[in-house]
A = this chain, B = another copy of it.
């Protein structure tokens, strides 16, 4: 049984992630945290983000822009990816459809754990 330690880097990375609603990448968190922890390394950010995902303290979101986005909100929800400004935005207004998973599992015979749905389009700013 592996012991878990809470380094100040780990705490800081988690706080920064939790306080962000922009679904930041490792690089973004790194840039942001470097001001307060100049000795911080990008590898540490990656390692901790993976650690959080493993511990169910974060989820990874892949929208197809070649970078991993992370979210400390682990409750399943949908996202909009703005094709103009590349923002990744929560969609609170539509409930995550667990029923769809059950229905597809039944119809297909696959075991289904979860699903990810991402909307592509334009955010409020960019639609004008």
Chain copies in the assembled complex: 2
Q: Name A94's closest neighbour in chain B (CB-CB).
A: B104
A72 to chain B, nearest CB (A): 18
- The answer to whether the Cβ of A54 comes within 8 Å of any Cβ in the partner chain is no
- The answer to whether the Cβ of A100 comes within 8 Å of any Cβ in the partner chain is yes
Are A107's CB and B80's CB within 8 A?
no
Are A110's CB and B62's CB within 8 A?
no
Query: Which one of A10-18, A31-39, A120-128 is at the interface?
Result: A120-128
Choice from B64, B107, B116, B120 contacting A93 with Cβ under 8 Å = B107
* Contacts A60-B64, A62-B63; A107 near B94 (Cβ below 8 A): yes
Which positions 90-111 of chain A face chain B at CB distance < 8 Å? Answer: 91, 93-94, 100-101, 103-105, 107-111
